[in-house]
């Protein structure tokens, strides 16, 4: 192999007919030029990529959330603050509240009381800076036939003048924060995981957007940013955290985080606060004096799709004697509280 003739490396055609070779050369050159310009034309849409779409060097080198040092984290939070300022002109407070010791959050939903007004849906969108266009909502309220708990007969897009409608009952569904979460298992890059307080979170800066978790979720709880999310500047909620409601980019997953930027500092989730019927209960299940602890112990409780073995931290319960609030909610009072609250 060592006895290689140096000539072998040069593969020009034999000397001689220079005219032919020039014509050949020109022809080949033209072909190469045509090919390159066709490739450039094909790639021309890329000139519309905005600065926000391209990761900065800092973003590109940013570590996985769990590998960040406190200093790394501070830099990441600062970068997010700057991005929010640049994009929405808002001075945001971006924090990273840690899970609290001895806390495991659970959520209870009283289906005897829920009237299907969807105030929770909209409060959630406002609180968590979800995209308004295209609309992303974490909570889906199902209108069920009385006498049935069959999801396939549920109405997802009910729109009556008044709720509740007679002969219907309502079942809001959101992330169940499973103790055995299939979405976490499938993620190829560990961009989603379960925190010690039971909340499954996503590092939006790590997600590669393969949507395997969305396929794995039995509760339709995950949402994908199919395009760049749009939020009007004056509707931005400036109270943000890294793992929950900071603005997302296109191409990543997002989901309900039990409003961890609120609940980890002693507040209640936005969907609970807005609920006019008191159907929503939230708290630390490890605390024997908590309301959720009482409900789990004393009420009739069920979880959705117990057969898939996901062990949800979101459960449904009902009152023994079935009264529910029958104050009808009309279109003009719909969303009123929300505006007042904001």
Site for other proteins in 284-313 (CB under 8 A): 305, 308-310
* Listed ranges 246-254, 267-275, 291-299, 316-324: which one lies at the site for other proteins (CB under 8 A): 246-254
DSSP string spanning 276-287? Answer: SS--EEEEETT-
Q: Is 218 in the site for other proteins (CB under 8 A)?
A: yes
Q: How far apart are CA 115 and CA 276, in angstroms?
A: 9
Q: Which of 20, 26, 36, 215 binds other proteins (CB under 8 A)?
A: 215
Q: What residues contact residue 226 under an 8 Å CB cut-off, 6+ apart?
A: 134, 250
Window 57-116: residues binding other proteins (CB under 8 A): 60, 64
Nearer to other proteins, 37 or 162 (CB): 37
Q: Is 222 in the site for other proteins (CB under 8 A)?
A: yes
Window 148-177: residues binding other proteins (CB under 8 A): 150-154, 156, 173
Q: How many helices (H) and strands (E) does the chain have?
A: 10, 12
Contact present, 239 and 93 (Cβ < 8 Å): yes
Q: What are the Cα distances from residue 39, in Å, to 27, 28, 94, 189?
A: 18, 16, 42, 32
Q: Which of 142, 201, 240, 272 binds other proteins (CB under 8 A)?
A: 142
| Selection from 105, 68, 59, 97 nearest residue 239 by Cα | 97
In this structure, the number of other CB atoms found within 10 A of the CB of residue 224 comes to: 18
Q: Is 207 in the site for other proteins (CB under 8 A)?
A: yes
What minimum distance in Å lies between the beta carbon of 289 and other proteins? 34
Q: How far apart are CA 180 and CA 195, in angstroms?
A: 12
What minimum distance in Å lies between the beta carbon of 43 and other proteins? 5
By CB under 8 A, the count of residues binding other proteins is 72
Q: Is 212 in the site for other proteins (CB under 8 A)?
A: yes
Q: Is 227 in the site for other proteins (CB under 8 A)?
A: yes
Q: Is 29 in the site for other proteins (CB under 8 A)?
A: no
Window 248-287: residues binding other proteins (CB under 8 A): 249-252
Within its chain, how far is the Cα of 244 from the centroid?
A: 8
| Selection from 225, 227, 228, 245 nearest residue 237 by Cα | 245
Nearer to other proteins, 26 or 265 (CB): 26
């Amino acid at each position: 192999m060592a006895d290689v003739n140096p000539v072998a490396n040069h593969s020009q055609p034999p000397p001689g007919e220079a005219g032919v070779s020039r014509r050949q050369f020109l022809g080949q050159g033209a072909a190469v030029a045509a090919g390159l310009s066709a490739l450039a034309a094909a790639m021309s849409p890329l000139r519309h990529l905005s600065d926000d779409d391209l990761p900065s060097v800092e973003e590109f080198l940013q570590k996985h959330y769990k590998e960040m040092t406190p200093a790394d984290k501070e830099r990441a939070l600062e970068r997010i603050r700057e991005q929010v300022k640049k994009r929405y002109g808002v001075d945001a407070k971006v924090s990273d509240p840690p899970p609290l010791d001895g806390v495991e959050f659970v959520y209870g939903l009283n289906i005897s009381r829920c009237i299907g007004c969807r105030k929770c849906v909209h409060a959630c969108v406002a609180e968590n800076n979800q995209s308004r266009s295209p609309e992303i909502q974490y909570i889906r309220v199902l209108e069920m036939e009385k006498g049935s708990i069959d999801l396939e007969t549920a109405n997802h897009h009910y729109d009556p003048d008044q709720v509740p409608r007679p002969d219907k009952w309502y079942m809001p569904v959101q992330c169940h924060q499973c103790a055995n979460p299939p979405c976490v298992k499938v993620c190829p890059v560990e961009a989603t995981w379960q925190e010690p307080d039971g909340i499954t979170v996503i590092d939006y800066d790590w997600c590669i957007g393969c949507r395997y978790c969305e396929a794995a979720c039995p509760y339709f709880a995950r949402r994908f940013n199919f395009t760049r999310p749009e939020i009007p500047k004056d509707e931005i909620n400036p109270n943000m955290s890294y793992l929950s409601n900071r603005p997302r980019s296109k191409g990543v997953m997002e989901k309900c985080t039990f409003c961890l930027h609120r609940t980890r500092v002693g507040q209640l989730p936005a969907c609970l606060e807005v609920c006019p019927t008191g159907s929503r209960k939230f708290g630390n299940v490890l605390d024997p004096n908590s309301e959720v602890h009482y409900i789990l112990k004393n009420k009739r409780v069920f979880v959705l799709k117990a057969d898939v073995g996901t062990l949800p931290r979101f459960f449904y319960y009902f009152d023994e004697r079935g009264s529910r609030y029958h104050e009808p909610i009309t279109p003009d009072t719909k969303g009123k509280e929300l505006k007042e609250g904001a």
